[in-house]
Amino acid sequence: MKRVALLMIAILTMSSTCSDDDDTFNSNTDIAEIKNVASTGVWVITYFYDTDHEETNNFTGYQFDFSSNENLIATKNTSIVNGTWSVTSSSSSSNDVDFNILFSTPTNFEELSDDWEIIRYTSTKIELIDISGGNGGTDYLTFEKI
């Protein structure tokens, strides 16, 4: 009985130190893969949560084109908003990959400008998070391919 109890304690201890959180990346491989995924196809924002409220509707109807030369173009009917994007390795860790977005105007697009952490990505979805250093709020941004 004592052996069974010790075995159970060992298993519980080992399982509590394991993590299924796979948000670290191999910067060389993943940067190229993420760039390829983003620059293939047209994307829409399906979720944008800014600190304390959802703002997804600010981007309804906009289609985002992440070009391979790091230009970012958002279009809605005849409205065009230009920005830039990149995927880089964070200076603090080679396993920390950032999805960088920069829009200088209009104001609601400026809110997308940040060095986002990648939560996860697939060929059809990119989920991002940012924890603000200024106000400590957490922002979430999700792009889905159409």
Helices (H) and strands (E) in the chain, counts: 3, 9
Count Cβ atoms within 10 A of the Cβ of residue 51 and give its class: 0-12 exposed, 13-18 middle, 19 or more buried.
middle
Q: What is the pTM of this model?
A: 0.79
The DSSP line for 121-140 is E-SSEEEEEEE-TTT--EEE
Write the pLDDT tens digit of every residue in 39-80.
999 999 999 999 889 999 999 999 999 999 999 999 999 999
Distance between CA atoms of residues 73 and 63, nearest Å: 8
Confirm if 124 and 143 have CB atoms less than 8 A apart: no
Domains of the chain: 27-145 (2.40.128.540)
Task: Give every residue of the chain whose pLDDT is below 70, as ranges.
Answer: 1-29, 91-95, 133-135
